[in-house]
């Protein structure tokens, strides 16, 4: 069943972060939420994760109100947040260790993900021995090893240089083609938002409201050459008009 965001508003005292946001996210879709800084997009993601509650309205997953975090929803933040004293392999397995202490860790699952993210041979490296892009791959693998229904990504490539960011975008596209999880991806980068998504949501300035919700008219698999296609450029113009208003 989908994620249903039903007339959600969020206030922080006298500060209105979100105003009457309604959105349905179907299973297995890749949704990007695009907006300028301060528009409430991360606030919305935190509520989906159960890290925060709406002031008004409700969020539902499988018809059940979201009131707290759960193993069905995992968040990847802008900073990888890896444990510096653990190896790459142990960082990926950390959540499983917490969840499965009595049963032990399925190391085959961990090693399969290391293969998928292209870091075989780096299993015993510490985070400081890895590049920024490699660290973020580990953070994504650490989330995926928990087999979540929903992967929530809060500007995960925002701290990377332009070339590494492009590489990670292609990595995520290829990875999503394999896992087909529901992804909610927060970004302020228009090109990134359009390239990655099945559905694009553009938010207005605060208090955040949905100014545009649309299907991205690009075939999969995706690649950067598609940024020159008419459908991409038309959607980019629409998003730019909203963000510059």
In a domain, 243, yes or no: yes
> What is the model's pLDDT at position 159?
87
Give the burial string for 155-194 (b: 16+ CB within 10 Å, else e): bbbeebeeebbbebbbbbbebbeeeebbbbbbbbbbebbb
Tell whether 153 and 123 lie within a shared domain.
Answer: no
Beta bridge partners of 3: 25, 61
Tell whether 13 and 105 lie within a shared domain.
Answer: no
Beta bridge partners of 202: 34, 212
- Provide mean pLDDT across the span 133-139: 96
227: which DSSP letter? G
Report the predicted TM-score, pTM, of the whole model to 2 decimal places: 0.93
The residue among 82, 79, 77, 80 whose CA lies nearest residue 93 is 82
* pLDDT at 152 exceeding the cut of 70: yes
Report whether 226 contacts 207 (CB < 8 A). no
Tell whether 16 and 51 lie within a shared domain.
Answer: yes
> What is the model's pLDDT at position 104?
72
- Say which residues have a Cβ less than 8 Å from residue 159's Cβ, sequence separation at least 6: 78, 79, 132
Give the count of domains, the chain: 2
> In this structure, what CATH number is given to the domain that contains residue 220?
3.40.50.300
Q: 132 lies in which domain range?
A: 80-144
Tell whether 52 and 153 lie within a shared domain.
Answer: yes
> What is the model's pLDDT at position 90?
95
**What percentage of residues in the chain have a pLDDT greater than 70?**
98
What phi and psi values does residue 129 have, to the nearest 5 degrees?
-90, 0
Mean pLDDT, the chain, integer: 93
């Amino acid at each position: 069943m989908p994620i249903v965001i039903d007339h959600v508003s969020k206030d922080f005292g006298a500060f209105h972060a979100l105003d009457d946001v309604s959105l349905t996210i179907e299973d297995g879709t890749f949704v990007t939420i695009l907006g300028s800084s301060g528009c409430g997009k991360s606030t919305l993601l935190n509520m989906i994760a159960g890290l925060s509650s709406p002031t008004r309205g409700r969020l539902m997953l499988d018809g059940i109100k979201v009131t707290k975090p759960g193993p069905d929803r995992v968040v990847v933040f802008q900073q990888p947040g890896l444990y510096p004293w653990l190896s790459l392999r142990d960082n990926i397995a950390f959540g499983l260790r917490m969840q499965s202490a009595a049963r032990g860790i399925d190391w085959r699952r961990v090693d399969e993900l290391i293969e998928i993210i292209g870091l075989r041979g780096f299993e015993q490296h510490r985070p400081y021995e890895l590049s920024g892009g490699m660290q973020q791959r580990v953070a994504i693998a650490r989330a995926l090893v928990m087999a979540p229904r929903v992967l929530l990504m809060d500007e995960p490539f925002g701290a990377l240089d332009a070339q590494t960011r492009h590489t990670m975008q292609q990595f995520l596209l290829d990875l999503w083609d394999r896992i087909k999880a529901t992804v909610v991806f927060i970004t302020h980068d228009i090109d990134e938002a359009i390239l990655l998504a099945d559905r694009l949501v553009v938010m207005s300035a605060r208090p955040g409201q949905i100014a545009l919700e649309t299907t991205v008219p690009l075939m999969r698999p995706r690649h950067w050459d598609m940024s020159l296609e008419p459908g991409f450029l038309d959607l980019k113009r629409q998003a730019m008009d909203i963000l510059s208003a």
